[in-house]
Structure 1
Amino acid sequence: MKNKTGRYSAYIRPFSYFIDLAIINLFAILLLSENVYSIYFVVFSSLSWVIIALNVEFYEVYRYTKIIAIGNKILKQFALFTIICFAYFGIFSNHSNARETLIYTLLTLLVVAFAKIFIYYFLRKYRRLSGLNYRKVVLLGSAKQVKQLASFFNDNPDYGYHLIKIFSTDIDKKLAIEMCCEFTEKEEIDEVYCSLFDLSNLQVNELVNFAEDNNKIIKFLPDNKNYFARNLKVDYYGYIPILSLHKTILHDPLTKLFKRAFDIFFALITIIFLLSWLTPLLAILIKLESKGPVFFKQGRPGIDEKEFFCYKFRSMRINATTEKEASKNDPRVTKIGKFIRKTSLDEMPQFLNVLIGDMSVVGPRPHLWSQNKVYGNKIKKYMVRHFVKPGITGLAQVRGYRGEIETDVDMVNRIKYDVYYIKNWSIILDLKIIFLTVFNIFKGEEKAY
């Protein structure tokens, strides 16, 4: 099990959202008159703020982002937010006051801008002084090509990158690549930076596949070839251009927001109208047949391979082999367990996992840690499934690859469908998978045991 707790700033962005929304609503209370301020404005302004922020990428600030770029984001955000506020008061308020609205947006601008810039510089200072919130990186390329980037990492500790090692391709390129991959996996390196000048197309593809298979971030120093035409985006570390692979559509902020909203809505509907009466009924049946808790929870690898507890209705007698999948005619499974597993009712508590944000309604099914260990380095692109949240149901499941993994071919096909889903997501595909899941429950599935 991998544990990266404390090294990444996973909570900084949600914290920034919370701070900014608190500021705009606090200033609305303090500066807007009672006949203008209302709960409707709170909802409207908060939603508008988030939608604008997603479109102008207001919170897409990284450790290498320049302060001038942050200033540009602030101006874009507030230009649109000011227009939205004036439009709201012009349409919905009979007591609109242009001066009052302008003072409100300007003061909010100043405070939010100060908070954003303060957090930016505080984190840089924090990284420099504490050595925490860092990422371990390695470089691959000739000494001449990677020299400037190596100096940047060493001279700018406030960016939070620790350069661990440089793998020179000057003598033996193939050996350098092999050593780099082996070292990256063994030492749990976070990011690999490669010089495209020193690599062939085949070697680039090999490195990309290695990064995907091992859930590593790979970035490139560009050369004079036409690599900008590939599926790459350009960032700047100081004045050094760095190429990185574009994420899938599921990493787009608007898509993530939409999918999360859909998950919450679907989970709430299911919990209120189904689990509210089904849980006490199944609890009685489970307790009558065997001793033990109603719910079964188990640690599973989730997004970015971070552990979460996956909940189910208990379908087995208490046993010591929980890291083993159920097989056909498994003696551990109870009578009521056979029914709820056949109808997939045992998975219903996972809507609680969806509600708290550990899972999605649709996505790759979360595997056992033991399966991750066995198949992680054995099957190509296996680790790609950890790019997104695991799901209650998925494309592999509705295509017949659910339940026990009997051969490596079963897992290969499951991964094939998982990767296809991640790279070709659409809301139509999600709805289709949900429909097929329900249809298969009523139809009955051969491997549902």
Structure 2
Amino acid sequence: MKKFDADQPGYGLRRLASATCDTTVQGMLARASDPFFILPDQTVAPATRPAQIAGSVYRNGGKRLLETVLVVLSLPFFLPIMAVCMIALWVEGGNPFYRQDRLGRNGERFSILKLRTMVRDADAVLEDYLASDPEMRREWDEKQKLIHDPRVTRVGAFLRSSSVDELPQLWNVLTGEMSLIGPRPMMPEQLPMYGNPAHYFALRPGITGLWQISARNENRFSFRNEVDATYNEGLSVAGDVGIIFKTVGVMLRRTGC
């Protein structure tokens, strides 16, 4: 049996495809990671070549219309959940919301809205923690994320694991800054780690997406770049519907982060 090297191009997508049960999403991943599959004008790896992809009704307006309708229809269900979370965060101490800059479509900056999951003075807490643990410093420098983050509160840990902290971003979707489904929103300072952002900048970042449902523990930016390229190239109604259904499973199993 042929073995694949973890550093071999497409290895991460093959592993991601094999772990994804939804046939539509699995097909999207497996097709794009196949070394014998040639896309038009494929001269460099999917993660580095410019995103020159033919338009479609769904890509050029249908996706935006569908997601707006879905957000409006979901508000009666999600608003009471968000209200309960806001009360819990107030009791725990402080403003339940926070804003932070992200890079959106075409590289434009916008303020993402989330439920607060961290302690006050989170930056200082992080710096003290990283200064005391070189291994955690290496993990942070590579992935910009920690498995055991000392900044996260008790309520915040629940909100993260259930992905409920993302619900305020429904407002970002309604304003057109984000999509329901798309790449994970990138901080401006993370751009140099990401590589060529052509596929990322071709899309609105999403509340959920291909990376969010399948490989949240794989935080290398090169891998995220590869997944974003795969999603952009295979964008379709069926693929997005599959991602939505898998997102519900992630929320119910509380396997988010």
Compute the TM-score of the two structures, normalised by the length of structure 1: 0.41
State the one-letter code of the partner of 1:373: P
Which position in structure 2 is the counterpart of 1:386? 201
The 3-state SS of whatever aligns with 2:222 is helix
Write the deviation string for residues 346-391 of structure 1: whole angstroms up to 9, x where unpaired.
001111110110011111111121211233xxx3x44321111111
User: How many angstroms does 1:205 deviate by?
Assistant: 4.1
Which position in structure 2 is the counterpart of 1:345? 164
User: How many angstroms does 1:270 deviate by?
Assistant: 2.1
User: How many angstroms does 1:301 deviate by?
Assistant: 0.3
- CA separation of 1:306 and 1:421: change in aligned 2, threshold 3 A: same
Flag structure 2 segments of 5+ consecutive residues without an equivalent.
Answer: 1-41, 127-139
Do the aligned residues in 2 keep the contact of 1:300 with 1:310 (CA within 8 Å)? yes
Instruction: Answer yes or no: is 1:289 the counterpart of 2:119.
Output: no
Do the aligned residues in 2 keep the contact of 1:308 with 1:358 (CA within 8 Å)? yes
Which position in structure 1 is the counterpart of 2:226? 416
Which position in structure 2 is the counterpart of 1:312? 114
Please give the alpha-carbon distance, in whole angstroms, between the structure 2 residues aligned to 1:335 and 1:369: 28
- CA separation of 1:210 and 1:425: change in aligned 2, threshold 3 A: closer
Which protein has the bigger strand share? 1
Instruction: Answer yes or no: is 1:436 the counterpart of 2:213.
Output: no
User: How many angstroms does 1:320 deviate by?
Assistant: 5.1
Do the aligned residues in 2 keep the contact of 1:326 with 1:404 (CA within 8 Å)? no
Give the length in aligned residue pairs.
Answer: 198
Do the aligned residues in 1 keep the contact of 2:47 with 2:225 (CA within 8 Å)? no
Do the aligned residues in 2 keep the contact of 1:267 with 1:351 (CA within 8 Å)? yes
State the one-letter code of the partner of 2:199: V
Which position in structure 2 is the counterpart of 1:273? 77
Instruction: Answer yes or no: is 1:248 the counterpart of 2:63.
Output: no
State the one-letter code of the partner of 1:390: P
Write the deviation string for residues 177-213 of structure 1: whole angstroms up to 9, x where unpaired.
xxxxxxxxxxxxxxxxxxxxxxxxxxx947x99772x
Flag structure 1 segments of 5+ consecutive residues without an equivalent.
Answer: 1-203, 213-244
Instruction: Answer yes or no: is 1:263 the counterpart of 2:67.
Output: yes
Higher relative contact order (CA 8 A, sep 6+): 2
Please give the alpha-carbon distance, in whole angstroms, between the structure 2 residues aligned to 1:404 and 1:333: 20
User: How many angstroms does 1:392 deviate by?
Assistant: 0.7
User: How many angstroms does 1:404 deviate by?
Assistant: 7.3
Which position in structure 1 is the counterpart of 2:7? none
Do the aligned residues in 2 keep the contact of 1:270 with 1:351 (CA within 8 Å)? no
User: How many angstroms does 1:326 deviate by?
Assistant: 4.7
Which position in structure 2 is the counterpart of 1:140? none
The 3-state SS of whatever aligns with 1:321 is helix
Counting only pairs closer than 5 Å after superposition, residues 352-371 of structure 1 correspond to structure 2 as 352-371=171-190
Do the aligned residues in 2 keep the contact of 1:395 with 1:417 (CA within 8 Å)? yes
User: How many angstroms does 1:314 deviate by?
Assistant: 0.4
State the one-letter code of the partner of 1:383: A
Percent identity of the aligned residues?
30
Compute the TM-score of the two structures, normalised by the length of structure 2: 0.69
Which position in structure 1 is the counterpart of 2:154? 335
